[in-house]
Structure 1
Amino acid sequence: MKRLTTGAAVTAAVIAATTLAFAPSASAAVTPSSATITAACGLFGGGSATLTATQVSSTSATITLSSTAITTPLALSANSISSTLTMTNSTGANRVFSGTVNPAIPAGGAVTVGPLPGTVAVGDSLDFFKGSLKMVIFGISVTCTSSAAQTPGPFVFS
Protein backbone atom coordinates (compact mmCIF):
# COMPACT_ATOMS: atom_id res chain seq x y z
CA MET A 1 0.00 0.00 0.00
CA LYS A 2 2.89 2.37 0.85
CA ARG A 3 4.41 1.81 -2.61
CA LEU A 4 1.07 2.58 -4.32
CA THR A 5 0.66 5.82 -2.31
CA THR A 6 4.23 6.92 -3.09
CA GLY A 7 3.73 6.12 -6.79
CA ALA A 8 0.49 8.12 -6.89
CA ALA A 9 2.16 11.08 -5.19
CA VAL A 10 5.08 11.01 -7.64
CA THR A 11 2.66 10.77 -10.59
CA ALA A 12 0.63 13.72 -9.29
CA ALA A 13 3.81 15.79 -8.88
CA VAL A 14 4.95 14.96 -12.43
CA ILE A 15 1.53 15.92 -13.84
CA ALA A 16 1.52 19.20 -11.90
CA ALA A 17 5.04 20.08 -13.05
CA THR A 18 4.19 19.22 -16.66
CA THR A 19 1.02 21.33 -16.52
CA LEU A 20 2.98 24.32 -15.22
CA ALA A 21 5.68 23.86 -17.84
CA PHE A 22 3.16 23.92 -20.68
CA ALA A 23 0.85 26.56 -19.24
CA PRO A 24 0.76 29.75 -21.29
CA SER A 25 2.93 32.44 -19.81
CA ALA A 26 1.43 35.76 -18.86
CA SER A 27 1.68 38.03 -21.85
CA ALA A 28 2.39 41.71 -21.89
CA ALA A 29 -0.64 43.89 -22.46
CA VAL A 30 -1.43 47.51 -23.15
CA THR A 31 -4.66 49.21 -22.13
CA PRO A 32 -6.45 50.64 -24.04
CA SER A 33 -5.35 49.07 -27.31
CA SER A 34 -6.51 52.08 -29.33
CA ALA A 35 -7.13 55.76 -28.72
CA THR A 36 -8.39 58.76 -30.65
CA ILE A 37 -6.51 62.02 -31.06
CA THR A 38 -7.09 65.26 -32.91
CA ALA A 39 -3.94 66.24 -34.75
CA ALA A 40 -2.82 69.31 -36.67
CA CYS A 41 -0.36 68.39 -39.43
CA GLY A 42 0.35 71.52 -41.47
CA LEU A 43 0.25 70.76 -45.21
CA PHE A 44 -1.26 67.35 -44.53
CA GLY A 45 -4.30 68.88 -42.85
CA GLY A 46 -5.58 67.63 -39.57
CA GLY A 47 -8.43 66.15 -37.65
CA SER A 48 -9.27 62.91 -35.96
CA ALA A 49 -6.76 60.07 -36.00
CA THR A 50 -6.58 56.65 -34.39
CA LEU A 51 -3.53 55.36 -32.55
CA THR A 52 -3.30 51.58 -32.15
CA ALA A 53 -0.81 50.17 -29.65
CA THR A 54 0.44 46.60 -29.46
CA GLN A 55 2.71 45.46 -26.66
CA VAL A 56 5.18 42.93 -28.08
CA SER A 57 7.00 42.19 -24.81
CA SER A 58 7.56 43.84 -21.43
CA THR A 59 10.14 46.11 -23.10
CA SER A 60 8.85 46.65 -26.64
CA ALA A 61 5.69 47.82 -28.38
CA THR A 62 4.45 49.18 -31.69
CA ILE A 63 2.11 52.06 -32.43
CA THR A 64 0.23 52.74 -35.68
CA LEU A 65 -1.39 56.06 -36.58
CA SER A 66 -4.17 56.13 -39.16
CA SER A 67 -6.44 58.95 -40.22
CA THR A 68 -8.81 59.80 -43.04
CA ALA A 69 -8.57 63.49 -42.03
CA ILE A 70 -4.78 63.65 -42.45
CA THR A 71 -4.03 63.29 -46.16
CA THR A 72 -1.04 63.49 -48.46
CA PRO A 73 -1.03 65.91 -51.40
CA LEU A 74 1.21 63.55 -53.40
CA ALA A 75 1.13 59.85 -54.16
CA LEU A 76 3.55 57.97 -51.89
CA SER A 77 4.99 54.52 -52.37
CA ALA A 78 4.97 51.93 -49.62
CA ASN A 79 7.56 52.42 -46.90
CA SER A 80 8.54 55.89 -48.09
CA ILE A 81 7.56 57.94 -45.02
CA SER A 82 10.25 58.15 -42.33
CA SER A 83 8.22 58.56 -39.14
CA THR A 84 9.17 59.45 -35.58
CA LEU A 85 6.32 59.32 -33.07
CA THR A 86 7.14 60.84 -29.67
CA MET A 87 4.73 59.97 -26.85
CA THR A 88 4.80 61.77 -23.51
CA ASN A 89 5.19 59.48 -20.52
CA SER A 90 3.64 60.53 -17.22
CA THR A 91 5.85 58.03 -15.39
CA GLY A 92 9.24 59.00 -16.84
CA ALA A 93 11.07 59.83 -20.03
CA ASN A 94 9.20 60.30 -23.30
CA ARG A 95 9.08 57.22 -25.53
CA VAL A 96 9.96 57.30 -29.22
CA PHE A 97 8.57 54.97 -31.89
CA SER A 98 10.18 55.23 -35.31
CA GLY A 99 10.47 53.52 -38.65
CA THR A 100 9.69 53.67 -42.32
CA VAL A 101 6.47 51.69 -42.49
CA ASN A 102 3.44 52.84 -44.46
CA PRO A 103 1.19 51.45 -47.20
CA ALA A 104 1.20 52.96 -50.69
CA ILE A 105 -0.96 56.11 -50.51
CA PRO A 106 -2.55 57.78 -53.54
CA ALA A 107 -2.52 61.59 -53.91
CA GLY A 108 -5.16 62.94 -51.53
CA GLY A 109 -5.21 59.60 -49.71
CA ALA A 110 -5.53 58.97 -46.00
CA VAL A 111 -2.27 58.67 -44.07
CA THR A 112 -1.30 55.54 -42.15
CA VAL A 113 2.13 55.08 -40.60
CA GLY A 114 3.27 52.07 -38.65
CA PRO A 115 3.44 49.82 -36.90
CA LEU A 116 6.36 51.84 -35.54
CA PRO A 117 8.52 49.94 -33.02
CA GLY A 118 9.70 51.44 -29.75
CA THR A 119 10.89 50.66 -26.25
CA VAL A 120 8.54 50.71 -23.27
CA ALA A 121 8.71 49.79 -19.61
CA VAL A 122 6.15 48.24 -17.32
CA GLY A 123 4.00 51.04 -15.95
CA ASP A 124 4.62 53.50 -18.80
CA SER A 125 1.61 55.77 -19.36
CA LEU A 126 1.91 57.22 -22.87
CA ASP A 127 -0.13 60.01 -24.45
CA PHE A 128 0.20 61.81 -27.80
CA PHE A 129 -0.72 65.13 -26.12
CA LYS A 130 2.46 67.26 -25.88
CA GLY A 131 4.15 64.67 -28.08
CA SER A 132 4.41 64.70 -31.86
CA LEU A 133 4.56 62.74 -35.07
CA LYS A 134 7.30 63.87 -37.45
CA MET A 135 7.06 62.50 -40.98
CA VAL A 136 9.79 63.09 -43.55
CA ILE A 137 8.58 62.76 -47.13
CA PHE A 138 10.83 63.59 -50.10
CA GLY A 139 13.09 65.43 -47.64
CA ILE A 140 10.24 67.61 -46.37
CA SER A 141 9.32 67.43 -42.67
CA VAL A 142 5.69 67.43 -41.63
CA THR A 143 4.99 67.56 -37.90
CA CYS A 144 1.67 66.64 -36.30
CA THR A 145 0.76 67.79 -32.79
CA SER A 146 -2.33 67.69 -30.61
CA SER A 147 -3.85 70.26 -28.29
CA ALA A 148 -5.72 67.73 -26.13
CA ALA A 149 -5.19 64.39 -24.43
CA GLN A 150 -6.03 61.22 -26.31
CA THR A 151 -9.31 59.45 -25.53
CA PRO A 152 -10.22 57.25 -23.76
CA GLY A 153 -6.87 57.84 -22.05
CA PRO A 154 -3.14 57.12 -22.17
CA PHE A 155 -1.68 53.77 -23.18
CA VAL A 156 -0.63 51.96 -20.00
CA PHE A 157 1.86 49.11 -20.45
CA SER A 158 2.13 46.09 -18.16
Structure 2
Amino acid sequence: MRGKRTAMGAALAAGALAVTGLAFAPSAAAVTPQTATITASCGIFGGGSATLTATQSGTSATITLSTSAITAPVAVAQDSITSTLTMANSAGSSVVFSGTKNPAMAAGGSVSVGPLPGTVASGDSLDAYGGSLTMVIFGVTVNCTASGPQSPGPFVFD
Protein backbone atom coordinates (compact mmCIF):
# COMPACT_ATOMS: atom_id res chain seq x y z
CA MET A 1 0.00 0.00 0.00
CA ARG A 2 2.89 2.30 0.82
CA GLY A 3 4.32 1.88 -2.72
CA LYS A 4 1.00 2.91 -4.22
CA ARG A 5 0.93 6.10 -2.10
CA THR A 6 4.47 6.98 -3.14
CA ALA A 7 3.62 6.42 -6.80
CA MET A 8 0.42 8.45 -6.42
CA GLY A 9 2.31 11.28 -4.70
CA ALA A 10 4.95 11.30 -7.44
CA ALA A 11 2.26 11.41 -10.12
CA LEU A 12 0.50 14.32 -8.38
CA ALA A 13 3.80 16.19 -7.99
CA ALA A 14 4.61 15.67 -11.68
CA GLY A 15 1.14 16.90 -12.63
CA ALA A 16 1.51 19.99 -10.45
CA LEU A 17 4.89 20.76 -12.02
CA ALA A 18 3.41 20.38 -15.51
CA VAL A 19 0.58 22.80 -14.68
CA THR A 20 3.06 25.27 -13.17
CA GLY A 21 5.19 25.00 -16.31
CA LEU A 22 2.16 25.83 -18.46
CA ALA A 23 1.38 28.85 -16.32
CA PHE A 24 4.88 30.24 -16.88
CA ALA A 25 5.25 29.20 -20.54
CA PRO A 26 5.56 32.07 -23.00
CA SER A 27 2.20 33.10 -24.37
CA ALA A 28 1.36 32.62 -28.02
CA ALA A 29 2.00 35.54 -30.32
CA ALA A 30 -0.93 37.91 -30.38
CA VAL A 31 -2.11 40.97 -32.22
CA THR A 32 -3.78 43.92 -30.52
CA PRO A 33 -6.43 45.02 -31.05
CA GLN A 34 -8.00 41.94 -32.62
CA THR A 35 -10.73 43.97 -34.33
CA ALA A 36 -10.82 47.47 -35.74
CA THR A 37 -13.20 49.52 -37.85
CA ILE A 38 -12.59 51.77 -40.81
CA THR A 39 -14.67 53.88 -43.14
CA ALA A 40 -13.93 52.86 -46.70
CA SER A 41 -14.80 54.19 -50.12
CA CYS A 42 -15.08 51.82 -53.07
CA GLY A 43 -15.98 54.38 -55.74
CA ILE A 44 -19.13 53.57 -57.69
CA PHE A 45 -19.47 50.33 -55.69
CA GLY A 46 -20.29 52.20 -52.48
CA GLY A 47 -18.64 52.66 -49.14
CA GLY A 48 -19.12 52.93 -45.42
CA SER A 49 -18.07 51.27 -42.21
CA ALA A 50 -16.12 48.00 -42.33
CA THR A 51 -14.75 45.71 -39.64
CA LEU A 52 -11.27 44.21 -39.83
CA THR A 53 -10.41 41.15 -37.73
CA ALA A 54 -6.78 40.09 -37.31
CA THR A 55 -5.16 36.92 -36.02
CA GLN A 56 -1.49 36.00 -35.57
CA SER A 57 0.56 32.84 -35.16
CA GLY A 58 4.27 33.67 -35.17
CA THR A 59 5.07 35.52 -38.39
CA SER A 60 1.86 34.32 -40.06
CA ALA A 61 -1.19 36.54 -39.78
CA THR A 62 -4.63 36.77 -41.32
CA ILE A 63 -7.08 39.60 -41.75
CA THR A 64 -10.79 39.33 -42.51
CA LEU A 65 -12.81 42.32 -43.73
CA SER A 66 -16.58 42.47 -43.51
CA THR A 67 -19.07 45.22 -44.20
CA SER A 68 -22.80 45.63 -44.61
CA ALA A 69 -22.25 49.05 -46.23
CA ILE A 70 -21.12 47.38 -49.46
CA THR A 71 -23.31 44.64 -50.87
CA ALA A 72 -22.79 41.98 -53.51
CA PRO A 73 -24.56 43.03 -56.73
CA VAL A 74 -25.08 39.35 -57.67
CA ALA A 75 -24.73 36.03 -55.86
CA VAL A 76 -21.06 35.18 -55.29
CA ALA A 77 -19.75 31.65 -54.79
CA GLN A 78 -17.51 30.72 -51.86
CA ASP A 79 -13.79 31.39 -52.45
CA SER A 80 -14.36 33.12 -55.78
CA ILE A 81 -13.17 36.68 -54.96
CA THR A 82 -9.48 37.40 -55.45
CA SER A 83 -8.58 39.95 -52.76
CA THR A 84 -5.43 41.93 -52.02
CA LEU A 85 -5.36 44.00 -48.83
CA THR A 86 -2.35 46.30 -48.55
CA MET A 87 -1.80 47.69 -45.05
CA ALA A 88 0.44 50.66 -44.27
CA ASN A 89 3.19 49.84 -41.76
CA SER A 90 4.40 52.53 -39.35
CA ALA A 91 7.96 51.43 -40.27
CA GLY A 92 7.37 52.95 -43.71
CA SER A 93 6.80 49.80 -45.71
CA SER A 94 3.56 48.02 -46.43
CA VAL A 95 2.35 44.49 -45.75
CA VAL A 96 0.16 42.60 -48.23
CA PHE A 97 -2.54 40.08 -47.31
CA SER A 98 -4.00 38.25 -50.30
CA GLY A 99 -6.01 35.22 -51.24
CA THR A 100 -9.29 33.89 -52.57
CA LYS A 101 -11.13 33.28 -49.31
CA ASN A 102 -14.71 34.48 -48.94
CA PRO A 103 -18.02 33.03 -47.83
CA ALA A 104 -20.82 32.51 -50.34
CA MET A 105 -22.84 35.73 -50.62
CA ALA A 106 -26.39 36.21 -51.86
CA ALA A 107 -27.24 39.09 -54.18
CA GLY A 108 -27.66 42.13 -51.96
CA GLY A 109 -25.78 40.43 -49.10
CA SER A 110 -23.00 41.95 -47.03
CA VAL A 111 -19.49 41.66 -48.44
CA SER A 112 -16.87 39.68 -46.52
CA VAL A 113 -13.39 38.58 -47.63
CA GLY A 114 -10.82 36.56 -45.79
CA PRO A 115 -9.15 35.32 -43.84
CA LEU A 116 -6.43 36.69 -46.09
CA PRO A 117 -2.94 35.42 -45.15
CA GLY A 118 0.17 37.58 -44.87
CA THR A 119 3.55 37.68 -43.17
CA VAL A 120 4.28 40.05 -40.29
CA ALA A 121 7.28 40.85 -38.11
CA SER A 122 7.30 41.48 -34.40
CA GLY A 123 6.47 45.12 -33.79
CA ASP A 124 4.68 45.69 -37.11
CA SER A 125 2.02 48.36 -36.65
CA LEU A 126 -0.44 48.07 -39.55
CA ASP A 127 -3.27 50.39 -40.53
CA ALA A 128 -5.68 50.14 -43.48
CA TYR A 129 -5.43 53.93 -43.80
CA GLY A 130 -2.69 54.56 -46.34
CA GLY A 131 -3.29 51.12 -47.85
CA SER A 132 -5.96 49.67 -50.10
CA LEU A 133 -8.22 46.72 -50.79
CA THR A 134 -8.57 45.37 -54.32
CA MET A 135 -11.19 42.72 -55.05
CA VAL A 136 -11.66 41.01 -58.40
CA ILE A 137 -15.20 39.68 -58.72
CA PHE A 138 -16.21 38.02 -62.00
CA GLY A 139 -13.41 39.91 -63.75
CA VAL A 140 -14.53 43.28 -62.36
CA THR A 141 -11.93 45.08 -60.22
CA VAL A 142 -13.18 46.93 -57.16
CA ASN A 143 -10.70 49.28 -55.45
CA CYS A 144 -11.36 50.49 -51.91
CA THR A 145 -9.46 52.90 -49.67
CA ALA A 146 -9.92 53.94 -46.05
CA SER A 147 -10.85 57.58 -45.51
CA GLY A 148 -9.17 57.72 -42.09
CA PRO A 149 -7.19 55.72 -39.55
CA GLN A 150 -8.50 52.51 -38.00
CA SER A 151 -10.36 52.71 -34.74
CA PRO A 152 -9.31 52.02 -31.99
CA GLY A 153 -5.89 52.03 -33.67
CA PRO A 154 -3.49 50.07 -35.86
CA PHE A 155 -2.93 46.33 -35.49
CA VAL A 156 0.29 45.79 -33.52
CA PHE A 157 1.84 42.34 -33.91
CA ASP A 158 3.99 40.58 -31.29
TM-score scaled by length of structure 1: 0.84
1:32 and 2:3 matched: no
| Deviation at residue 21 of structure 1 after TM alignment | 9.9
Give, in whole Å, the separation in 2 of the partners of 1:62 and 1:44.
Answer: 25
CA deviations 1:3-57 (Å, max 9, x no partner) are xxxxxxxx9xx96xx6499524421010000000000112431100000000122
Superposed structure 1 runs of 4+ greater than 4 Å apart:
none
Q: How much does 1:79 deviate?
A: 0.5
Is the contact between residue 76 and residue 104 of structure 1 (CA under 8 Å) also seen in structure 2?
yes
Counterparts of 1:83 and 1:21 in 2: how far apart (Å)? Answer: 44
Larger deviation, residues 38-47 vs 122-131: 38-47
Residue identity matched to 2:83: S
- Cα deviation for residue 92 of structure 1 reads 4.0
- Root-mean-square deviation over aligned CA pairs: 2.0
What residue number does 2:138 align with?
A: 138
Structure 1 residue 101 displacement after superposition: 0.5
The equivalences for 1:52-67 within 5 A come to 52-57=53-58, 59-67=59-67
Gaps of 5+ in 1: 1-10
Question: Which runs of 5 or more residues in structure 2 are unaligned?
Answer: 1-9
TM-score by length of 2: 0.84
Distance in 2 separating the partners of 1:113 and 1:21: 40
Distance in 1 of aligned mates of 2:99 and 2:135 = 10
> How many equivalent pairs are there?
144
Q: % of aligned pairs identical? A: 64
